[in-house]
Structure 1
Amino acid sequence: MSDLEPDLEDFSGVVSARRGDHVLGEWAVGLADRTAGVPNTPATRFGLASGTKTFTALTTLSFIGDGLIRLETPAREILGEDLPLISDDVTIDHLLTHTSGIGDYLDEEVDALAPLSVPVQQLDSTPAYLPVLDGFPMKFSAGERFSYCNGGYVVLAIIAERAGGAPFADLVHARVLEPAGMSASGFPRSDLLPPGTATGYKDDGRTNVFALPVVGSGDGGAHSTAADLHRFWRALLTGRIIDPALVALFTERVTADAGDGLGYGRGVWLDDEDVIIVGGDHGVVAVSRHHPPSSTTVTGLANAEKPTFGRVRELMRAIKAKDVVPAE
């Protein structure tokens, strides 16, 4: 599919197009480790930043499927006396759909790349986020409107740990990654990245090790590969992660236009028939767009702050327009 090659100028990462069991095309450019001169490859593992929220949502929905919590469960019921500025009427569903109105420790309506208020090495577990999440008053009444909220997804991770009795990363592994066969995915420490993982680079050339939590939680920090993300979509839509009725809730267009014409469900972005994982942070950009009717996935994973969403969208459009079929 040489005539469908994406624009890779000034890009650093991997772009992958897959349909069913077939690779339509994969392109890897730039360096995974600039110091050692290690190139990115199609198998390189990249940070997902806010793409992690998709896994958080599915972990939460799996607890709903097990009857441990409900969409209508008030967050306060699980939080107890923690985070007292979260209103008592904020529910699990408000948090999932970014309609909770809670104050955000990293408010993207103010500054999406603001520095964290504590040294990043202190954030080495989900409970360690509690002091960082505290002290922010409600922005608006629960259910009033959509407002993208990083803190809300860390609250979901706290709730998941308390409902599941295990560390958040272990819950995501057991309930999402393992059922999907995503053996290359997980939550590595940023100061101890496993072999085959890309280092993230800021625009000034420094790595992102001092800019992101040393261990991620519900709003970011997971790492994955292009192949694993295609496995993820296929597992999700064949009911191997959560029940199909819960998949319908996950992909329900709760907010018709959450920005740039995209709808939002419960942890996933929606564009016509496409369902999309999106993430971006210091030295990380991740987009995985899946078209369920044709089982086509186009993924862009970057270890530098490079435009990726448009590249992925245009490649998916080209595949659809040409009705590309896998080579036998």
Structure 2
Amino acid sequence: MGDVAPDLDGFCGVISVRRGDAVLGEWAVGLADRTAGASNTPETRFGLASGTKTFTALTTLSLVGDGLLQRGTRAREVLGEDLPLIADDVTIDHLLTHTSGIGDYLDEEVDALAPLSVPVQQLDSTSAYLPMLDGYPTKFPAGQRFSYCNGGYVVLAIIAERVSGTPFADLVRERVFAPAGMAASGFPRSDLLPPGTATGYKDDGRTNVFELPVIGSGDGGAHSTAGDLHRFWLALLTGRIVDPSLVALLTERVTADAGDGLGYGRGVWLDDDDLIIAGGDHGVVAASRHHPSSSTTVTGLANIEVPTFARVRELMHAIKGGGVGGAE
């Protein structure tokens, strides 16, 4: 790595640079569990927050590939009488691309860290989210524009469960984590985190256990490691998870500028030729940036609310600009 190193000032978590089978650099700082005094390590699992949406999109597209859904399938066809305020013309593809216009239980255009409207311990399955998703009127006609929608990705998870007959967390494991070799990834209960998992901490020092659903769903809650996320990118782009035609849909630049100059596909952010998984919530910040032509991944996973996306971007730019390890 030479003189290329990440900004670790105030950071708590793991930053990793990997290419192919090689680890070019890895930094683990701070505590994963302050009570136990357990340190973060390169193998520590972290919450991904909205980074989960990438796996939701890929799971949905795999169901499209199997013929259980079509991109043009209307949400209403599967939802029946549930969530009646979702308009008749909203399709799977509108939900995937954040162009559905449906009302959002957690509208980031209003307040990205607003408290949930139901006790978090009630959110222990994807179907349990239905009462929280209900009652939000349409914001704009489907297809009119991009508007990041957390609720839309929970709706995708509900639809995926119903057409497959499989609980969403199991579906993601079977269709994404297992074929990618992501053995350390999953959807743990927040009140029963497995060993080696980082606890998320708020700025006041409290954990995030009362802020987030006890079990995540389509819009957040997956946990993973830096190594697993690199394995994900390599498996995705070599066709080991879904057919390359579906990978092309996932990474297609549907929205040229979804904010901050980033493009958006279907569950993946796009910055020039980099593919990005990103998320942030109470006590959780995650960003994994992959450069396909050099098979390089830079991942930052934090269990405090600290700027991570910019650190990952700057480190990737430095690696590419300096030709570290043969990057182009």
Residue 36 of structure 1 pairs with residue 36 of structure 2: yes
User: Any idea what SS the aligned residue of 1:3 has?
Assistant: coil
Give the letter for the 2:214 counterpart.
V
Q: Aligned equivalents of 2:249 and 2:187: distance in 1?
A: 26
**Deviations, residues 199-218 of structure 1 (Å, cap 9, x unaligned):** 00001100000000000000
Report percent identity of matched pairs: 83
Where does residue 314 of structure 1 map in the other structure? 314
Contact 2:177–2:183 (8 Å) recurs in 1: yes
User: Any idea what SS the aligned residue of 1:193 has?
Assistant: coil
Residue 270 of structure 1 pairs with residue 270 of structure 2: yes
Q: Aligned equivalents of 2:2 and 2:272: distance in 1?
A: 27
**Deviations, residues 82-103 of structure 1 (Å, cap 9, x unaligned):** 1000000000000000000000
How big is the shift at 1:237? 0.2
Map 1:49-88 onto structure 2 (within 5 A): 49-88=49-88
User: Any idea what SS the aligned residue of 1:88 has?
Assistant: coil
How big is the shift at 1:5? 1.0
How big is the shift at 1:36? 1.1
Where does residue 222 of structure 1 map in the other structure? 222
Where does residue 183 of structure 1 map in the other structure? 183
How big is the shift at 1:180? 0.1
How big is the shift at 1:196? 0.2
Map 1:81-100 onto structure 2 (within 5 A): 81-100=81-100
Contact 2:15–2:299 (8 Å) recurs in 1: yes
Q: Aligned equivalents of 2:36 and 2:183: distance in 1?
A: 25
Where does residue 135 of structure 1 map in the other structure? 135
Q: Aligned equivalents of 1:191 and 1:4: distance in 2?
A: 38
**Deviations, residues 152-179 of structure 1 (Å, cap 9, x unaligned):** 0000000000011010000000000000
How big is the shift at 1:226? 0.1
Q: Gapped runs of 5+ residues in structure 2? A: none
How big is the shift at 1:306? 0.4
TM-score, with length taken from structure 1? 0.99
Q: What is the number of equivalent residue pairs in this alignment?
A: 326
How big is the shift at 1:144? 0.4
Q: Aligned equivalents of 1:72 and 1:166: distance in 2?
A: 22
Where does residue 155 of structure 1 map in the other structure? 155
**What's the C-alpha RMSD, in Å, of the aligned pairs?**
0.6
Q: Aligned equivalents of 1:161 and 1:128: distance in 2?
A: 13
Q: Aligned equivalents of 1:79 and 1:292: distance in 2?
A: 37
Q: Aligned equivalents of 1:299 and 1:185: distance in 2?
A: 15
Q: Aligned equivalents of 1:58 and 1:291: distance in 2?
A: 19
**Deviations, residues 92-115 of structure 1 (Å, cap 9, x unaligned):** 000000000000000000000000
Map 1:101-250 onto structure 2 (within 5 A): 101-250=101-250
Contact 2:2–2:324 (8 Å) recurs in 1: no
User: Any idea what SS the aligned residue of 2:52 has?
Assistant: helix
Q: Aligned equivalents of 1:51 and 1:216: distance in 2?
A: 12
How big is the shift at 1:2? 4.3
Q: Aligned equivalents of 1:163 and 1:272: distance in 2?
A: 35
Q: Aligned equivalents of 1:283 and 1:66: distance in 2?
A: 37
Q: Aligned equivalents of 2:301 and 2:182: distance in 1?
A: 16
Q: Aligned equivalents of 2:325 and 2:128: distance in 1?
A: 48
User: Any idea what SS the aligned residue of 1:131 has?
Assistant: helix
Q: Gapped runs of 5+ residues in structure 1? A: none
Give the letter for the 1:161 counterpart.
E
Q: Aligned equivalents of 1:238 and 1:2: distance in 2?
A: 29
Where does residue 256 of structure 2 map in the other structure? 256
Q: Aligned equivalents of 1:119 and 1:81: distance in 2?
A: 24
Q: Aligned equivalents of 1:322 and 1:24: distance in 2?
A: 14
Q: Aligned equivalents of 1:164 and 1:267: distance in 2?
A: 20
Q: Aligned equivalents of 2:75 and 2:139: distance in 1?
A: 16
Map 1:5-24 onto structure 2 (within 5 A): 5-24=5-24
Q: Aligned equivalents of 2:168 and 2:295: distance in 1?
A: 29
How big is the shift at 1:325? 1.3
TM-score, with length taken from structure 2? 0.99
Give the letter for the 2:26 counterpart.
E
User: Any idea what SS the aligned residue of 1:259 has?
Assistant: coil
Q: Aligned equivalents of 1:75 and 1:249: distance in 2?
A: 19
